[in-house]
């Protein structure tokens, strides 16, 4: 999934445990400009650095996964939690200082050199 909007706020990286860190940020999403939505995302582990190249006010395209968790509290109740985990952020405007990285080179449609038609070493 992805969403385009303006970065409203970027929080510092939080070291939650010795082996887990996260960073939250908020996007102003205005599908209907009269009623903008404010959507909070999180980046985890090595994706925390994605936000280093951006600041509040930048227009971005955020690619994310929707995550959901179930938790049984000690009193016997059940709670559900949702999170939006960003895994890629691109600059959305051509006039901005941030832009999408250049596209990767087109893949070759030729067979790799290690494939040989003369040798048939398959076990069946």
Average pLDDT over residues 113-124: 51
pLDDT in tens, 34-49: 999 999 999 999 999 9
**Position 120 pLDDT exceeds 70:** no
Burial of 25 (0-12, 13-18, 19+ CB in 10 A): buried
26 and 3 in contact (C-beta within 8 Å)?
A: no
State mean pLDDT over 17-38: 93
The string of pLDDT tens digits covering residues 57-113 is 999 999 999 999 999 999 999 999 999 999 999 997 644 444 444 445 555 555 444
Domains of the chain by range and CATH? 2-91 (2.40.50.140)
- Specify the pTM: 0.68
């Amino acid at each position: 999934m992805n969403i385009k909007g303006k970065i409203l706020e970027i929080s510092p990286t939080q070291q939650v445990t010795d082996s887990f860190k996260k960073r939250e940020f908020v996007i102003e999403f205005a599908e209907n400009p009269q009623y903008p939505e404010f959507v909070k995302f999180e980046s985890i582990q090595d994706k925390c650095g994605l936000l280093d190249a951006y600041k509040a006010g930048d227009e971005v395209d955020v690619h994310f996964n929707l995550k959901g968790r179930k938790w049984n509290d000690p009193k016997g109740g059940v709670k559900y939690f949702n999170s939006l985990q960003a895994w890629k952020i691109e600059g959305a405007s051509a006039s901005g200082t941030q832009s999408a990285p250049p596209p990767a080179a087109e893949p070759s449609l030729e067979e790799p050199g290690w494939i040989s038609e003369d040798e048939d070493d398959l076990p069946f």
